[in-house]
A = this chain, B = another copy of it.
Amino acid sequence: MAGPQDRERVRELLDSVRAAGREALTAPEGRIVAEAYGIAVPGEELAQDIDEAVACADRLGGPVVLKIVSPDVPHKTDAGGVVVGVRGAPEVRAAFRRIIGNVRAYAPDARIDGVQVQQLVPPGQEVIIGAVTDPTFGKVVAFGLGGVLVEVLKDITFRLAPVTADEAKSMLDSIRAAEILRGVRGTPPVDRWALAEQIRRVSQLVADFPEIAEVDLNPVIASPDGAVAADIRILLATGTVVPRRTYGREEILVSMRRLMEPRSVAVIGASDEQGKIGNAVMRNLVDGGFSGEIHPVNPRAGGILGRKAYKSVTDVPGEVDVAVFAIPARFVASALEEVGRKGVPNAVLIPSGFAETGEQALQDELVAVAERYGVRLLGPNIYGYYSTWQHLCATFCTPYDVRGGVALTSQSGGIGMAVLGFARSTRTGVSAIVGLGNKADIDEDDLLTWFGEDPNTRCVAMHLEDLKDGRAFVAAARRTVPKKPVVVLKAGRTSAGARAAGSHTGALAGDDAVYDDILRQAGVIRAPGLNEMLEYARSLPVLPTPKGDNVVVITGAGGSGVLLSDALVDNGLALMEIPPDLDAAFRAFIPPFGAAGNPVDITGGEPPSTYEATIRLGMEDPRVHALVLGYWHTVVTPPMVFAELTARVVGEFRERGIVKPVVASLAGDIEVEEACAYLFERGVVAYPYTTEKPVAALGAKYRWARAAGLLT
């Protein structure tokens, strides 16, 4: 890779280009950068006259390409300034003359610096390697198949730059047409190492030089003998970016702990008057059962909900961990000053009327005050937050008390209300629900850092529309994912797309394509929609982690078995090939016409004992790693009988230390709804009237287990 001298050479070159007020490097400049970073390009030399051209061609060997070099001829081909496949001195002489003649005729006043003599790149698979500066993630490297297909099919993949050699190699497998690189229909495979190395070097280049906005190697010709960039294009950024204030991991954890596990909460704008937000917040804190101190703050002081009120937060005795604001926007800044003076580390800003209504200046003022005092801000423009294990409902919404393993956050208040309603309706066990609103300060990476450490949180689910700092989020996700699943609903997937870009790679880097690849690389489970995010949030903490890839479907309804198999394949899961001994064991319990193999079709009309015996087999056999059950409602085995036996068997094995994910699809009359709720509460993820949802939950758990490195 590039040594200090190489970097120095590039540094000088870029400085000179910027000094000249240019954004684009010329081809020879691009070549200097490529050589400094060991990016393979065809051998080439500049010839000032015919004899030099002949000598160059001779030194390079093999067929060459001749190209005009002129600052006044941007489109060389149009000007007749390119001749391809020139061999031997007579052809070089003729081609040189033709080029000069063509360009003189095309643009008589053009300055001509000479003719570039370039090795002809051998035939191979065209690919594109590039880099762009993403507004969310910064430097990002891209790889795709070249030619018209990358344009038409957008088959391209992205990673944060710089990438390691392994990450670069993973990019070769991340495009849909990956097979082509391995060789199809008799074409030999390309040199994967060489190709990955080109990607890595480009990623290192943009990481080393933040002023490089975009790089295009297009096309790169990949063959069994290597990968050579036929063309390199480098664009520099104009302007400078002001770095945002960041907090260290320990700082974040200290303030987050006081936010999520406070001992003392002050309510700025607490009120006795029903219908006021300051009243709702007070009531929820009290009714929710928060056991720490609750201090109402109100200029009129007196008592509120039977508690002593203070005129200012500075009057509150002892330390305060959180100040919840329930006052109009215009009063927030001055109250925040007092919160700062009091040394309160967290301000929860429920009020709206800031950036979301165009009052950016008012919001900037808050941020300035907060930074001065080191107060972290949640919001503004939020419903508040819940920390259920603390019985803390610091919100104007209704209390929520079903404690459990999932922490949910939402950027939008409406989505937050949907989270609350869904959780209540399904009795989802929650560790926290947090509104992020305008994200003037605290954002997803702060919360993720905390939830990653919080022992009560076993899964994190986040709705977001943007990330203020994509790299900080990825860093937090990478630390969290090995411990617990992180689910993200990224809204605004389809709105982006076209972006003004000076390069090919830039044009292909639609916001969502970049988000999708980079979140996946960070091990995040991306929910395709709101309902999926909520269902994953409900299921993942309940479902044990699978220890291997062998999934077995046991079904009473053959029809469900087929649909469950479809769903497994859709979710990237495979039905286990049942070993003969296990197959024989299943057969002992099912009717002779029941289908052997996988799905295990026990057939309709079987008694509870058949469900129980076959589920026991699946639980007992260590070669089976996950069970998918398809129940069919019959009079012989009613829904609650199935639910009871399944929960009992799964629970028994769990007590014996045999823990496997079990999901179930219940096909039947409405009694199956009660049966599903019963099963869910007992750790079996069960849904009525759908074969897709239970398998999607299992699929999400598998995706996480793979990302966390728990499956090989």
**Alpha-carbon distance A411/B561, docked complex (angstroms):** 13
Query: How far in angstroms is the closest Cβ of chain B from A428?
Result: 11
A198 in the interface, Cβ–Cβ < 8 Å?
Answer: no
Which of B179, B410, B465, B691 contacts A530 (CB under 8 A)? B691
Known: A152-B179, A177-B153, A667-B421. A412 touches B557 (CB 8 A): yes
Contact A184 B152 (CB under 8 A): yes
**Is residue A243 contacting chain B, with contact meaning CB distance below 8 A?**
no
B669 touches A421 (CB 8 A): yes
- In the complex with contacts A148-B187, A152-B177, A669-B397, A421-B566 CB distance below 8 A: no
Chain B residues with CB under 8 A of A559: 410-415, 463, 465, 491
**CB distance A417 to B670 under 8 Å?**
no
Report A532-558 CB contacts with B as 1/0, cut-off 8 Å.
101000000000000000000001111
Known interface pairs A494-B569, A560-B412; A670-B425 also in contact (CB < 8 Å): yes
Is A668 positioned at the interface, with any CB of B under 8 Å from its CB? yes
Q: How many angstroms between the C-alpha atoms of A181 and B239 in the bound complex?
A: 41
Stretch among A45-53, A226-234, A627-635 lining the B interface: A627-635
In the assembled complex, how far is the CB of residue A531 from the closest CB belonging to chain B, in whole angstroms? 4
Give complex CA distance A605, B381 in Å. 12
Q: A529-B691, A559-B463, A635-B275 are in contact. Are A667 and B492 (CB under 8 A)?
A: no
Instruction: Check A87 for interface membership: any CB of B closer than 8 A.
Output: no
Give min CB distance, A345 to chain B, whole Å: 28
A630 to chain B, nearest CB (A): 7
CB of A516 within 8 Å of the partner chain: no
A654 at interface by CB-CB < 8 Å? no
Q: Which of A410, A559, A673 has the most CB of B within 10 A?
A: A559
A417 touches B635 (CB 8 A): no
Task: Report yes or no: A417 in contact with B149, Cβ–Cβ below 8 A.
Answer: no
Contact A689 B566, beta carbon cutoff 8 Å: no
**A492 touching B530 by the CB < 8 A rule?**
no
A530 adjacent to B149 (CB under 8 Å): no
- For chain A, the count of residues having a C-beta within 8 Å of the partner chain is 81
Cβ of A422 under 8 Å from chain B: yes
- For the complex, what is the distance from the CA of A630 to the CA of B352, rounded to whole Å? 20
Q: Identify the closest chain B residue to A396 (Cβ).
A: B635
A693 within 8 A of B: yes
A184 and B529 within 8 A (CB): no
Q: Is the CB of B151 within 8 A of A414?
A: no
| Contact pattern, A 374-415, Cβ under 8 Å of B = 1, otherwise 0 | 000000000000000000000001100000000000111111
Selected from B492, B566, B605, the residue in CB contact (under 8 A) with A491 is B566
Interface centre among A489, A671, A690 (most CB of B within 10 A): A690
Tell me whether A688 and B491 are in contact in the complex, defined as CB-CB below 8 angstroms, given that A357-B593, A413-B604 are known contacts: no
CB pair A414–B529 under 8 Å, yes or no, is no
> With A424-B669, A465-B559, A531-B692 in contact, is A591–B415 under 8 Å at CB?
no
* Chain B residues with CB below 8 A from A176, complex form: 152-153
Q: Report yes or no: B151 in contact with A177, Cβ–Cβ below 8 A.
A: no
Looking across the interface, which residue of chain B has its beta carbon closest to that of A411? Answer: B559
Contacts of A492 in B (CB 8 A): 562, 565-566
Q: How many whole Å from A463's CB to the nearest CB in chain B? A: 7
Known: A148-B185, A414-B560, A421-B668; 18 extra A-B contacts, CB below 8 A, are A148-B184, A352-B605, A356-B558, A358-B592, A411-B559, A412-B558, A414-B630, A415-B557, A415-B560, A418-B667, A420-B668, A420-B669, A421-B672, A425-B688, A493-B566, A530-B563, A530-B689, A530-B692
* Chain A residues at the B interface, C-beta cutoff of 8 Å: 148-149, 151-153, 176-177, 179-180, 184-185, 187, 275, 352, 356-358, 397-398, 410-415, 417-418, 420-422, 424-425, 463, 465, 489, 491-495, 528-532, 534, 555-560, 562-563, 565-567, 569-570, 591-593, 604-605, 630, 632-633, 635, 667-673, 688-693
Complex A-B: 17 CB contacts under 8 Å: A149-B149, A149-B177, A356-B558, A398-B669, A414-B556, A414-B558, A417-B668, A425-B670, A465-B559, A489-B563, A491-B566, A492-B562, A494-B565, A531-B689, A531-B690, A531-B692, A531-B693
**A-B pairs with the 3 shortest C-beta distances?**
A412-B559, A414-B557, A357-B593
